[in-house]
Chain A
Amino acid sequence: MIDIKGVSKVFKGKKEITAVEDVNLQINDGEIYGIVGYSGAGKSTLVRMFNGLETPTTGTVTINDTVMSDLHGKELREKRQKMGMIFQYFNLLWSRTVLQNVTFPLELTHVAKEERQAKAEKLIETVGLKGRENAYPSELSGGQQQRVAIARALANDPELLLSDEATSGLDPKTTDEVLELLLKINRELNITIIVITHEMHVIRKICDRMAVMDAGRVVEEGSVFDIFRHPQKEITKQFVSEEETPQLSDTNVVIKELLKQVPTGKIIKLTFHGDQAKLPIISEMLRQFPEIDLNIVDGSIHQTQEGSIGTLYLQLLGDGQEIVDAQDYLHKMRVETEVIRGE
């Protein structure tokens, strides 16, 4: 269990910069916890306080009953050996082969040579790079390099894995592969993973719970499913909508175009959660209100760890009362409706 209490970090220099301000978080064992925010929000500084690369100016980071800022020298190094970390630019040693990169942390802890070798080979297999043991990082693709970095981070059997924008330098397909790998590691080895990212997609795909950071503060926190369903703060809504409809601007264009062509009608946004996303609610609505004409402007369904979330933009044409009744019907079916443009 990780307990962050009242943590702030102020960098003193020519100008004082408060990178992290009064952050309180609890992260449970075995969970994948996401911290999302734009660059400069303080998430990298926060995650560096987990393994003592930064020390909080005030407040405490407690990891499994150990207060990190109480540790110094040897104790701190031993604690760090029980935490893995992966980075945006992989940070592999280019002078070492894949195998030697993975044995690196084991050399630091003076594990015997044969044991190092065997362990590293097993981990390389886990991350799907069997056969590339003797390649150098420069001979690997970005996704492969990140796999090596993950294997390296797991070498000392960590209780915690910190991922600092680990997929930000990768293309979408490779990102998904690396995320799958993190999910597999979390499930098979029961390692707590903290994921720092600016991509909501990453959070949705693998995280159980999440926090949104803005200007050094945690502005929203909770289960990924809840936050996707009911984002409270403006910045969270921004993140969620970016993820829901990557072409949101396109949708607006489509709505404008539709409104121009058919000046009548109402545009509403429907949000389906979990089981409703699987039910034929719209066709049922059309059967009950046959006078309504319907245009689908845009739609998408996303899978989160807890279930699917669907979004649908509809243009409704027809009798005003009938449309209101239809909206009531949707409401009864527990589908959220939001009027984008009235009549």
Chain B
Amino acid sequence: MTLRTIDDQIADHPFFAGLGSDFLHFIAGCGRNRYVEGGEYLAHEGDDANAFFLIRIGKISIETNVPGRGPVVLETFGAGDIAGWSWICPPYKWAFDVVAREAASFIEINGLCLRGKCEADPVLGYAVLKRFAGMMSERLRDTRLRLLDLYGNDRKRS
């Protein structure tokens, strides 16, 4: 059995599809494999955001605590998804909790490390930022669709 390196795993992840091997190697240098059990927190709202997660197996959720209601699940992500962009923009604080819904394996990329590499190499920085901008754009579109509350019974008259 061949041991797959983090370079290989990142190259296979849909988020980084098409990125050159040099860049993948740079990014992999900031990554480590992690495994967590269901219920474990990957990040807490308000803490320093120094990482993002490339999910390989399992399911994680973005949550927030609503007084009187308890934790509310805002969105769930599974294999092939990515979670975490607070590491890119000041003030570099997690906006929400990140929780494993079930046992999950993922690659954790150190945001401080990658930010440093992106600052030093703007071509790498632009390539990384383009991918995050695309992902943010998709999430914003999805969030707007949910804001419409399309399944709500807004035509109800009686």
Do the two chains belong together in a single complex?
no
Give me the interface of B with A, judged by CB distance under 8 Å.
none
Give me the interface of A with B, judged by CB distance under 8 Å.
none
